[in-house]
Amino acid sequence: MASVVAPVAAPPAVELHLRSDLFISDLRTRKKASVLEEVAGALAAANVARTPEAILDALRRREALGSTGLGKGIAVPHARSTMVSERALLVARSTKGIEFDAVDGQPVHLCFLIVAPPLERDPIYLKLVAEIVRATRLARTRQKLIDAPNFAAVRAILVEAARD
Amino acid sequence: MTDLLNALVELQDIDVLLREVKDPEIASQEERMGFSLEHVENLEKARRKVAAQIDEKLLQTYERMSRRFARVVVPVEGIVCAGCRMSLPTASARRHSSAIVGIENCENCGRILYRR
């Protein structure tokens, strides 16, 4: 008798994009403009962007459309830029909170920056944004992410939440 | 990279974002996630400002090519154009590939190239 093998679910896009070199445990800066500079610098240092300025321009333009501060302490700045070499997710936390012009006016403690090159077909880019938004919808998940001692713990929490 | 090439890259990035904002499916997906896309006029203003920095003839070429290709300005990956995946000629052969100083075109597809 042939055995029935259950299909293996594809891993969440989040899981495939989390990188320890793109994790900032506690941001140095607290204003939106300087935080965007700090994270753009980290992307350039990791060779994801050609220069910090290149990705910074793209992020500023996206923010000028409307803030990516979603409320409840979360911001998901995202942009596609010619100067980005690969799709990437940077996770940054802020103990003190960032003044991010969020929709609820509250400081941001968790910032998920998503960038990608402007490929003609890239269904993963918005899927990644959607997974992050969905994974952080519960207050208890957000608190766990804030309290997590290191990148490995943050990764485990996000992957679990993205699978739910 | 030259200032002209930087301006073209910026223009392309603005166009990518404008296409997303004006794509009903993408815009609705963004809004469902809670993102606001209300200030399109800021983006259009930025586009006009960047376009004004680009030589008129080159801008016309860019506009014409952008109707054909989603990406007009593409990187060179090794010796290959990232747009059409064709091998590029050697450095000496590409010296005169564009009439505009600092701008290099792919001889196969015509896209504007930049080197990482």
> Could B35 and A68 be called an inter-chain contact, meaning their C-beta atoms sit closer than 8 Å?
yes
Range(s) of the domain holding residue B20: 3-115
Which residue's structure tokens are 């830029």? A81
Q: Please indicate, yes or no, if residue A4 is contained in any of the structural domains.
A: no
- The answer to whether the Cβ–Cβ distance between B37 and A130 falls below 8 Å is no
Identify whether A136 is part of a domain: yes
Q: A120, B70: Cβ pair inside 8 Å?
A: yes
Kind and range of the H or E element at B112?
A: strand B112-115
Q: How many domains does chain B have?
A: 1
Q: Are the beta carbons of B29 and A83 separated by less than 8 Å?
A: no
- Helices (H), ranges, chain B: 3-22, 24-33, 40-51, 56-66
Residues of A (38-57) whose Cβ lies below 8 Å from B:
50, 54, 57
Q: What is the mean pLDDT of residues A57-83?
A: 95
pTM above 0.80, yes or no: yes
A109 is catalytic: no
In terms of pLDDT, which residue wins out, A62 or A122?
Answer: A62
Encoded tokens for A32? 């939106």
Whether residue A112 has pLDDT greater than 80: yes
Average per-residue pLDDT in chain B?
88
How far are the Cα atoms of A5, A17, A18, B7 from residue A8, in angstroms, in the given order?
A: 9, 19, 21, 46
In a domain? residue A143:
yes
Say which of A17, A32, A78, A87 is annotated catalytic.
A78
Q: What is the CATH number of the domain that holds B61?
A: 1.10.287.1490
- Structurally, chain A folds into a number of domains equal to 1
In a domain, A5, yes or no: no
Does some domain include residue A1?
A: no
B12 touches chain A (CB under 8 A): yes
A7: in domain = no
Asked whether residue A6 is assigned to any structural domain, the reply reads no
Whole domain around residue A129: which residue ranges? 13-163
Q: Does A103 touch chain B (CB under 8 A)?
A: yes
pLDDT band at B92 (very low <50, low <70, confident <90, very high): very low
Please give the share of chain A, as a percent, with pLDDT higher than 90: 84
Domain of A141, CATH number, reads 3.40.930.10
The predicted structure's pLDDT at residue A1: 54
Contact list, B46 vs chain A (CB under 8 Å): 61, 64
